Structure 1
């Protein structure tokens, strides 16, 4: 147990299993009061008939912590509003929102159906925006009332969103959108005392255990680099008062490794000072590419 987040009130979406569960337990161990949100859905978002959030809450309470279950759909506007209200009404406020919920419906683009696209974009991208929007309303109202606000949002992007991932066009697009949303929210919410960051984690979860079974298998002995629990220390720190100077950043996290993703940057321009002719542009583009850093490879791309 530590007191890094003592008394802080934290909402975590998709916290019934995997990385979200690890976040909930880690925040509770750091002294936070936790709203554990989970629909109990299957890997593809279908109903599973289980209540993993209740199990996580029971585990936190058994260890002497404070937690409550929320079963709302985070991509439903009213459901996301109820989720934020659960924290305020149960614990008296809100300090941290960790957006983590999501599922997969993987297909190559030529096989990807409209429903599979819509479902993944909805749960990941809208499922980040809707809780963020209602949390921002709460913090803005407090700030305008003259109350001190020292709040945090931690979003969950992915390497797929930063570099792309073959067979995951819907997921990659959603996760790229989350990274951009993080930058926007950091710029817009700073005036209210809110920082916004994102993580791009690599860990063994239901979403990765099939695609990366061999690479992500737990070792017989030694450090388990793919354990979901490795991701949570950074998220807990980002949710603490110590991180107030850090905002608008995306961190890659895997095992004991933490890196800051640099994202899109302006490259050196070629400026003619007038409109280019199409026939002129071949060597110009070649020169720009030669001057630029090599692009990161898309996950799963051959050669």
Structure 2
């Protein structure tokens, strides 16, 4: 693959869930490379309750103090109206939108038996719809610009999770939402390429409010007294910024990022194993034939 020069300076980005954790680091990293940033966050607790715009404002203040440009947006992007509002906020403030980083999320872990309908629905809504709503309205704007003859690279970066590929018990709402985001990313890449849009996904391994609320993870992710902190969320920000640059050569891809490690995920694929016959299977015949799929050990 040919080497490309990273192009970020002067671009405009929305980062959702940018008041704390990963989103905060994404916003700060982008701003440090000359990107004008809409810092979106409703400022809820881990479970999505409450409303507090001060974390987002603190990020904006930090960017501005460092000589960058940023504004606060407290829209609930997990709604069509909120997704539209945050896109309009970028256009009203900066006159353009080049990058959308979908990162907003909450956590309400529970076993399947104890899962409430509200907890299931809200986690799916914030993660899946929180990606879909702003993407819809960003894509609508980008399509209109493309039809008007504007030739400009646009970038989507979505936030998945290892919970979406490793199927963690207790996360029957969060895990499927994160799996869905990886698939959504691939669909966005396929549908929007005609408008100059690339879409990619990151699966971060990092210390955040959400990960620290999971049993066992605080001990694993404890910051070292000295040396490289492999769980620092700032480690994920450079790959997000790279995927948001105008010369990004990737689309439809998903990357696991933890510490100094970046790994590309293979898309869903069929295995080489199969059983075949020229007519319909009977249940009895399948009882024997399906043994080909059983583990050998």
| Short-chain TM bin | over 0.9
> Which residue, 1, 9, 12 being the options, matches 1:9?
12
Residue-by-residue CA offset, 1:126-152 (whole Å, 9 max, x unaligned): 010000000000000011111113000
Deviation at 1:286, TM superposition (A): 2.8
Q: Sort the Cα spacing of 1:77 and 1:266 in 2 relative to 1 into closer, same or farther, 3 A.
A: same
Secondary structure of 1:143 counterpart: helix
Conservation of the 8 A alpha-carbon contact between 1:4 and 1:31: no
Deviation at 1:3, TM superposition (A): 7.5
1:139 counterpart residue number: 142
TM-score for the superposition, normalised by structure 2:
0.94
Is the aligned partner of 1:36 residue 2:39? Answer: yes
Deviation at 1:4, TM superposition (A): 4.0
CA–CA distance in structure 2, aligned partners of residues 261 and 103 of structure 1: 24
Deviation at 1:163, TM superposition (A): 2.0
Residue-by-residue CA offset, 1:157-199 (whole Å, 9 max, x unaligned): 1111122111011000111111111111110001110011111
Conservation of the 8 A alpha-carbon contact between 1:39 and 1:51: no
Q: Sort the Cα spacing of 1:264 and 1:286 in 2 relative to 1 into closer, same or farther, 3 A.
A: farther
Residue-by-residue CA offset, 1:40-65 (whole Å, 9 max, x unaligned): 11111111545100000000000000
Q: Sort the Cα spacing of 1:46 and 1:59 in 2 relative to 1 into closer, same or farther, 3 A.
A: same
2:260 counterpart residue number: 256
Q: Sort the Cα spacing of 1:9 and 1:52 in 2 relative to 1 into closer, same or farther, 3 A.
A: same
1:301 counterpart residue number: none
Gap runs ≥5 in structure 1 = 295-303
Deviation at 1:242, TM superposition (A): 2.3
Count of aligned residue pairs for this structure pair: 290
> Which residue, 267, 275, 294 being the options, matches 2:280?
275
Q: Sort the Cα spacing of 1:143 and 1:95 in 2 relative to 1 into closer, same or farther, 3 A.
A: same
CA–CA distance in structure 2, aligned partners of residues 217 and 263 of structure 1: 32
1:223 counterpart residue number: 228
> Which residue, 74, 79, 84 being the options, matches 1:76?
79
Is the aligned partner of 1:236 residue 2:245? Answer: no
CA–CA distance in structure 2, aligned partners of residues 98 and 273 of structure 1: 49
2:208 counterpart residue number: 205
Is the aligned partner of 1:152 residue 2:155? Answer: yes
CA–CA distance in structure 1, aligned partners of residues 28 and 6 of structure 2: 14
Query: RMSD over aligned Cα, in angstroms?
Result: 1.6
Conservation of the 8 A alpha-carbon contact between 2:6 and 2:245: no
CA–CA distance in structure 2, aligned partners of residues 281 and 28 of structure 1: 59
Secondary structure of 1:168 counterpart: coil
Residue-by-residue CA offset, 1:17-74 (whole Å, 9 max, x unaligned): 0000000000001110000000011111111545100000000000000000000000
Deviation at 1:270, TM superposition (A): 2.3
CA–CA distance in structure 2, aligned partners of residues 5 and 19 of structure 1: 19
